Amino acid sequence: MRKRNPFLSLSDIVYDILLQEIVSFRMAPGSRVNESTIAELLGVSRSPVKNALTRLMHNSYVVRQPGYRVAAFSEKEYTDIAELSELIEPYAAGRAAVAIKDTDLDVLYDIAGQLQHICVKSGNLQHRYIDVVDLEYQFHSRIVHLADHPLLEEFYEHIKYKLYRYRSYLNYDPPSGYFEVVGTEHLTICDILKMRDQGMAEAIMRRHLALARAEFKRKFPAENNQEFNKKGPFSPT
pLDDT 10s digit of each residue in the chain, 237 long?
455 555 578 999 999 999 989 988 788 889 999 999 999 999 999 999 999 999 999 988 999 988 999 998 888 888 999 999 999 999 999 999 999 999 999 999 999 999 988 887 655 555 677 788 889 999 999 999 999 999 999 999 989 888 888 888 777 777 777 778 888 999 999 999 999 999 999 999 999 999 888 887 777 655 554 444 444 444 444
Report the SS3 class of residue 146: helix
Enter the pTM of the model: 0.81
Rounded to whole angstroms, the Cα distance separating 189 from 122 reads 22
First to last CA, the chain: 26
Phi then psi for residue 28, to 5 deg, are -80, 155
Pick from 122, 108, 75: which is nearest to 224 by CA? Answer: 75
99/21 Cα distance (integer angstroms):
35
Which strand (E) or helix (H) includes residue 48? helix 46-58
In the chain, the domains with their CATH numbers are 10-70 (1.10.10.10), 75-223 (1.20.120.530)
